[in-house]
Structure 1
Amino acid sequence: MTRTYTVKIHNRQTGDRHVIQVPEDRYILQNAENQGVNLPFSCRNGACTTCAVRVISGEIDQPEAMGLSPALRDRGYALLCVSYARSDLEVETQDEDEVYEQQFGRYFGKGKVRVGLPLDED
């Protein structure tokens, strides 16, 4: 028998709060949409950070979330498009740019981009 969990979602962008029921074998985002809840998303493949949330409480499984580094996962971030509830949950949507900056910011923005130089010249 499939277990069903209660998922509380705070959408920071709109200020809305939702409570949905999610079977353990269904993606949270898809189930939210089926219950009339509109949340941010883009790729639906776990490759971007548009649907990123921060887990406030509970357990989540996201084996296909290639868009999040292990470090961000360890800090409680998840991608709802490829996440399964493993307990009752409380999550909060995140700003995509904030998550992207936390993940990649140290690699980008390190000065001017120089075009037209051979690879061996700096």
Structure 2
Amino acid sequence: MDVTLTLPDNVYIVDSAEDNGVELPATCRTGNCSNCVGRMVEGEVDQLDQAFLTDKQVKDGWVLLCVAYPRSNCTIKTHQEAYLV
């Protein structure tokens, strides 16, 4: 599924997606698990509230969508938990 959304920069991506009728996986909603993980294709997010990903995973483009704010136009692959290494 390819969806384009206009999201505010002060609401977490998962919450904004749900507000727009798009359901994304999100179990803990606190940044402490990998259920909502996505892979950044392009753009920037602020995910300082996350506590699960390593610095290397963040550098490699992994994003916890339940605690990430968009900071630019972003392209993110969702439903990526099975691919997180």
TM-score bucket of the superposed structures, by smaller chain: over 0.9
In the other structure, the counterpart of 1:38 is: 23
Match of 1:89 among 53, 74, 80: 74
In 2: Cα distance, 1:95 partner to 1:35 partner = 21
Q: Give the TM-score taking structure 2 as reference length.
A: 0.93
**Rg comparison, structure with higher value:** 1
Gapped regions of structure 2 (runs ≥ 5): none
1:8 corresponds to = none
Alignment partner, residue 65 of structure 2: 80
Deviation at residue 41 of structure 1 after TM alignment:
1.3
Q: Please give the per-residue CA displacement for 1:74-105, whole angstroms capped at 9, x wherever unaligned.
A: 00110000000000000002432331xx1xxx
The Cα of 1:47 is off from its aligned counterpart by 0.4
In 1, the alpha carbon distance for the partners of 2:47 and 2:61 equals 11
Pairwise CA distance, 1:21: 1.2
- TM-score after normalising by structure 1: 0.66
The residue aligned with 1:17 is: 2
- Does residue 60 in structure 1 map to residue 41 in structure 2? no
Partner Cα distance (2:7, 2:75) in 1: 12
Q: Which runs of 5+ in 1 are unaligned?
A: 1-15, 103-122
1:29-84 deviation line (CA, Å, top 9, x unaligned): 00000000011111100000011011000111100111111110000110000000
Q: Which has the higher strand share?
A: 1
Counterpart AA for 1:32: A
Greater RCO between the two (CA within 8 Å, min separation 6)? 2
**In 1, Cα distance between the equivalents of 2:82 and 2:32?**
14
